[in-house]
Amino acid sequence: RMKIFKFGGASVKDAIGVKNLVRVLHQEGTKNTFVVISAMGKMTNAFEKVVYNYLNAEHEIKNSINEIQNFHEDILTELFDSKHSIHNQVTQLFGQLQGFLIQNTNKEYSYVYDQVVCYGELLSTKIVSEFLKQSGINNKWLDVRKIIKTDSNYRNAFVNWEETQENSQKLNQQELYITQGFISQDLKGNTTTLGREGSDFTAGILAYCLQAESVTIWKDVDGVF
């Protein structure tokens, strides 16, 4: 049966954190393992700023996106050489984000929030997945939105357990999967989120649907009080 590992934003807040995640997987083993990862560091807050600027201060959007790009590029520089394909993958994600901001006509805050903030998790998991491959750990990057389906209650979506369980059964439980916490998708194909700090819930949803052996929440702290 599968093991579910969840790593929060503090655990992958920089290149050292990503390298430490690799050490954990080397130590714990990678077979039958589902790794759920949050956005890096304080990136959810940074994407919330993009949402605010998009709706209230358009002249600041470019600066807020540049800050996020620079943060991730600094991490990429430490982990990969300049010719690695991850650079293009990250550029494509920022292109998708900017495409949404240009084309979107729905200015309802919660809807915009979910379509924008999800990029924190998409970026972090792409980076970790590619670094694992570079470190000799084969894995499959999975868009969790194809698995966890919800209603359209943006920012606090309710799980459609039947659909989610059905999708989970299609997964190969022998693989090492790298996927996102916090984000999901409604039946219209729009991104939804499970509530702030929802990555632990993602781990629980997957554990339930896959009848996992265990869930481990890895924390980057000196101790647990």
Q: How confident is the model at residue 33 (pLDDT cuts 50, 70, 90)?
A: very high
Report helix, strand or coil for 187: coil
Beta strands in 171-224 (DSSP E): 176-180, 183-186, 191-193, 214-218
Over 146-185, what HEC string results? HCCEECCCCCCCCECHHHHHHHHCCCCCCCEEEEECCEEE
Q: In this predicted structure, what is the pLDDT of residue 183? A: 98
The pTM of the full predicted model, rounded to 2 decimals, is 0.96
Cα dihedral 125, 128, 132, 134, rounded to 10, equals 110
Q: In this predicted structure, what is the pLDDT of residue 145? A: 98
Q: In this predicted structure, what is the pLDDT of residue 223? A: 78
Q: Look up residue 86 and give its two tokens.
A: 């991850």
Q: How does pLDDT run across 38-74, given as a tens digit for each residue? A: 999 999 999 999 999 999 999 999 999 999 999 999 9
Task: Give the residue among 77, 50, 33, 71 at the shortest CA–CA distance from 175.
Answer: 33
Q: How many CB atoms lie within 10 A of CB 135?
A: 15
Q: Strands 183-186 and 33-37, how do they pair? A: unpaired
Q: How does pLDDT run across 115-138, given as a tens digit for each residue? A: 999 999 999 999 999 999 999 999
Q: Look up residue 136 and give its two tokens.
A: 């000799």
Report the chain's mean pLDDT, rounded to a whole number. 96
Q: How confident is the model at residue 110 (pLDDT cuts 50, 70, 90)?
A: very high
Read off the amino acid at residue 25.
L
Q: How does pLDDT run across 188-201, given as a tens digit for each residue? A: 999 999 998 899 99
Task: Give the residue among 169, 83, 180 at the shortest CA–CA distance from 141.
Answer: 180
Terminal Cα distance for the chain, rounded: 30
